[in-house]
Amino acid sequence: MAQPDRHTTHAVEIVKTPTSAGDVNVTSSGFRSPLAAIVFGNRTLVDDVFTTHLGMGIGFTDLTDNLCAAISAKTSANPSECDAGNYNTRVCTRLEVGTSTKQIGCQYDSLTTDGIVLDYVEAQEAYPDIHHALLLKNGIAQAKVVEKVAPGSGASTVTVGFKPDIIIVLGAGQTAAETGSTDAMLAMGFYHREDGTYFSCACFDQEAVNPSNCNSRSTASAIMANLNSSGTHETVTFGTFTDTTFDMTIGAGSATENLMFLCLKLQSSYRAAVGSFDTPTATGKKNIITGLNHQPDIAMFIGMGNTALDSGQALMSPSFSVAELINQQASIACSHVDAASGGGRAQNIQSTNYCLVGIEKTEVYLYRASLVAFESDGKVVVDFDKAPATAVKVGYLTIGKKNRLAMPSRNVTQRKTTAKQIVNSAGVPKAVADYEIGGRKFYQPDNSDAKHR
């Protein structure tokens, strides 16, 4: 299949963090300018190599404002050392192990030819990282990042400036912007307004316990706002959308967390989907998503290693992955297992060879898969070379141009006729098959040199 022009797609680019503070250009030849970017990374510098000390950062920018969430956990700490923070001055950051201090952090600086400039305010000479930048453009009409503290009870209004079709959510268990604290809590979520669908997950790693206490949970009915040491969770839902605002309403618990949103409005010819699938328990090529009303240009995946929805597990295994139309892909994953459930070090892995990665325990993959294709009939096909013994829940968000209307197969009057309006290159009227539904006629030329006069 012919590859699309670079400027008509999205881009997934690798960013090697600098060894001293300064600007880094993130570009893709021929891409032109994005409307927003998601930047993510962990404590790794080489593809597909495990590293110790859990560290994960994810954030987004609308080319004006920045928001990000980050967590860390120290290997072999007894008692445990875990931290988290959310920041409105960075688009991605890595926390120093044992503190919520920003160790490697960048903010959006400016547009440049075929991409953006990231300003690394904090940098590490001895231990640089790999960050990944997803530059969003294709099908996106408007983008805005917004942060809002959940109301504790009832509903509160979030002002965006347009009616979003998609909301991507991050949280780090903080009650105010630009704060950090002990206990590593990370929440991630997707919401699609048209279908009213959610997928969200959260994890928690407790500070100062001997030796560790980890929890995680996934749901398809709300956005996870928080999770705590006992597995108690808090959620929010979205509704009452206007042309400029939407309401955030408390579901479970009494969340007062500062939540961060990337709100996207799609162009009229584009569609999206949010849902979840079960990983297979055997390797090989699999249709992980089917029946979409669009061929995806981009897919994003999140998970916590959970084997069931709405049921907590003593595992902290957050992952965030992306894949785009011309087969660029990137994944980050971390894990820390509750000592009472078998132990295991805090660890990380990142890859540009796989669009799905989940890990557990000590250097053990839960699953790993590379992108095969985004099919025109609404399938996403991947190839698993690692699969779990028990299926794992993974959430997805896809965006793409809506499928063309297929010719109907039922309740249709079909006949051969001469279409006076359609002629071949010699000017001779052509025989076509026309379909009539409710008085409307659909003309289909019988070869490629037909033209309208």
What digits encode the pLDDT tens for the residues 218-261? 999 999 999 988 888 999 999 999 999 999 999 988 889 999 99
| Residues 380 and 434 reside in one and the same domain | no
160 within a domain of the structure (yes/no): yes
| Residue 6, SS3 per DSSP | helix
Q: Is the pLDDT of residue 407 over 80?
A: no
| Residue 139, SS3 per DSSP | coil
Domain count, the chain: 2
408 within a domain of the structure (yes/no): no
Q: Given phi > 0 = left and psi -120 to 50 = alpha, else beta, which region is 448?
A: alpha
Q: Is the pLDDT of residue 402 over 60?
A: yes
DSSP 184: E
Structural tokens at position 421: 């309006």
| Residues 116 and 225 reside in one and the same domain | yes
Separation between Cα atoms, residue 83 and residue 86, nearest integer Å = 11
From 73-77, 135-139, 444-448, the region with the lowest mean pLDDT: 444-448
Quote the pLDDT of residue 8. Answer: 54
Give the length of the chain.
Answer: 453
- Of 68, 167, 57, the residue nearest 399 (C-alpha): 167
| Residues 277 and 420 reside in one and the same domain | no
DSSP 173: S
Quote the pLDDT of residue 253. Answer: 87
Separation between Cα atoms, residue 272 and residue 263, nearest integer Å = 13
18 within a domain of the structure (yes/no): yes
Q: Which amino acid is at 73?
A: A
User: Which residues form the domain of 269?
Assistant: 6-402
Q: Radius of gyration of the chain from Cα atoms?
A: 24
| Residues 233 and 381 reside in one and the same domain | yes
Q: Is the pLDDT of residue 268 over 70?
A: yes
Interval 341-350 mean pLDDT: 76
Quote the pLDDT of residue 343. Answer: 54
Quote the pLDDT of residue 315. Answer: 84
Scanning 280-356, the segments in alpha helix (DSSP H) are none
| Residues 190 and 58 reside in one and the same domain | yes
Phi then psi dihedrals of residue 339, to 5 deg: -55, -35
- Angle CA 249–62–93, to nearest 5: 85
| Residues 190 and 94 reside in one and the same domain | yes
For the ranges 3-7, 51-55, 341-345, the maximum mean pLDDT occurs at 51-55
pLDDT (tens digit per residue) in 28-81: 888 889 999 999 999 998 999 999 888 999 999 999 999 999 999 887 767 788
Structural tokens at position 104: 């490697």
